[in-house]
Chain A
């Protein structure tokens, strides 16, 4: 199934990427080739087969409800590209 430019643009927004017009064309072609290849899975009969999410199938891996020491604020903010010593700075989350 061919991927349209509009598919690439829709997915790019979902994934918060910003391909240039050239990149959109190239991605449409490349992704179409990969999608065509993985479309071969359709021929496998999987009726009644349970999906395998985890390569190791364990259940109920839990920890006790115990509070432990957190990072210092300086350590928490140390890798932030922009911070004010208190929190992570970002452009306003509401409005433009």
Chain B
């Protein structure tokens, strides 16, 4: 039995969804040709000066409010100094002791259904500029690196959690919830492939202390880098916990007895490896940036942001359950699919008049098509209005549910409205008197079935439904069944 607890804190860097960089007007578009989105400021050319992007400040405040952080009245900019080829000024403009937001929390679902949600404390979220990146250079001899500075100066928000997470599953839940929140807010697209969301994990163990049974001992903290997906975060934490446990058993080293180590996750070998120790212990020589004025954020401004805040995932999940009567599962599936799908669902439900049917159509059919085609909701030819009106027709009995799937497919394929789709499929509600006539004819022609039903085998009537549909394809199976049973009962 591994008698330890894993202690995890996450540092998440997200690129903010601004049009221009944090301190200059260069575009932040992903995928541009190397070194085509630079200027004297983000190249760090002599004489250039930074000017702060107000949108980045706004997005940071919005995130802080959504993460239940306090927004101090005064925030400032500091230089973090180190040499690296992707850092053209020799320092990164960041925030050291007075971050723009601090002391918040994010709630994640309990580990199992029905357990209470867990609050993960947020230490701080601060603004800083991104660095450039190294490219592979086929032409370079001798293993040179080639530097692209397009990304240099892109606004980042670094969101640091307290070491409140206790398992890789919790870490993943935290990341999913954080990503959902940030995309709901629109502060970042959180695209990990494009590097707009990056995760470093600080991991150590609490292990039984033979010297002091009342209080566990802590092992040295390891920072894991090079985590390219949430799955990699999970696996790396699990691997690292096991490795630290073995290491503890071998060495008995505690926190403070060994320096904090940085290890890189090797995704293919599924191990963490010690990264090369730097030549000197990190001494970033932080000091306030003399080129940038501090920012004062008044309580009024924070209130304005709070008031304008969209409904956030946690509140939405709750409302879909209480107001729409959805199950916790359905509410989570819808909200967890993002703001676009949630808004789509709400429109479908409003137009269709039946929240549960709307939830079924959205969570089953719409997401199925999205997964099958790899398309975004906005790329499907499916206005929420159309799907809603289709559901309204089902509810009104004008569209037999047996044929709704055909209508849905046609809506998607041709982008027509519901009436046109039904017309082109020849769907029209069958008049009740016509249905009764059809049923009478069928009962008369099938005395054996009538006898079976009278003998208590109600399911025998099912054989008549197919025959009814042959006579009129729009015949609603439910109605046919009900009418037949009524007629038999009436003798």
B75-89 to A contact mask, C-beta < 8 Å, 1/0:
000000001111000
**Are A59 and B294 neighbours in the complex by a CB distance under 8 Å?**
yes
CA distance A14 to B278 in the complex (A): 11
Q: Is A41 an interface residue (CB 8 A)?
A: no
**Are A13 and B145 neighbours in the complex by a CB distance under 8 Å?**
no
Partner of A13, one of B25, B280, B293: B280
**Are A64 and B288 neighbours in the complex by a CB distance under 8 Å?**
no
B24-53 to A contact mask, C-beta < 8 Å, 1/0:
011110000111111110010100000111
Q: What residues make up the interface of B, taking CB atoms closer than 8 Å to A?
A: 18-20, 25-28, 33-40, 43, 45, 51-57, 83-86, 134-135, 137, 139-140, 142-149, 276, 279-280, 283, 285, 288, 290, 292-296
CA distance A94 to B225 in the complex (A): 15
Kindly state the interface size class of chain A when it binds its partner: 35 or more
A59: nearest chain-B partner, CB-CB: B296
Q: What residues make up the interface of A, taking CB atoms closer than 8 Å to B?
A: 10, 13-14, 16, 51, 53-54, 58-68, 70-73, 76-77, 79, 84, 86-95
Point out the residues of chain B lying under 8 angstroms from A16, CB to CB: 83
Interface SS of chain B? loop
Point out the residues of chain A lying under 8 angstroms from B86, CB to CB: 93
**Are A93 and B296 neighbours in the complex by a CB distance under 8 Å?**
no
A-B contacts counted at CB < 8 A amount to 129
Partner of B144, one of A54, A59, A89: A89
Residue of B57, B85, B280 ringed by the most chain A CB atoms within 10 A? B85
Can you show 19 pairs from A to B with CB atoms below 8 A apart?
A14-B283, A62-B54, A62-B57, A63-B51, A66-B19, A66-B20, A67-B19, A70-B37, A70-B39, A71-B39, A72-B36, A73-B34, A76-B36, A77-B35, A84-B139, A87-B137, A87-B149, A90-B85, A92-B144
Partner of B27, one of A67, A73, A77, A94: A67
Interface SS of chain A? loop
Point out the residues of chain B lying under 8 angstroms from A68, CB to CB: 20, 25-26
Partner of A65, one of B19, B137, B146: B19
Point out the residues of chain B lying under 8 angstroms from A79, CB to CB: 45
Taking the nearest CB of chain A, how far is it from the CB of B286, in angstroms? 13
Given contacts A62-B295, A90-B147, A91-B142, 12 further A-B contacts (CB under 8 A): A61-B293, A68-B20, A70-B37, A71-B40, A73-B34, A76-B149, A84-B139, A84-B146, A86-B34, A86-B146, A90-B146, A95-B143
**Are B43 and A76 neighbours in the complex by a CB distance under 8 Å?**
yes
CA distance A62 to B438 in the complex (A): 76
Complex A-B, nearest 3 residue pairs according to Cβ-Cβ distance, in ascending order: A65-B55, A68-B25, A62-B54
Point out the residues of chain A lying under 8 angstroms from B52, CB to CB: 61-63
B88: nearest chain-A partner, CB-CB: A88
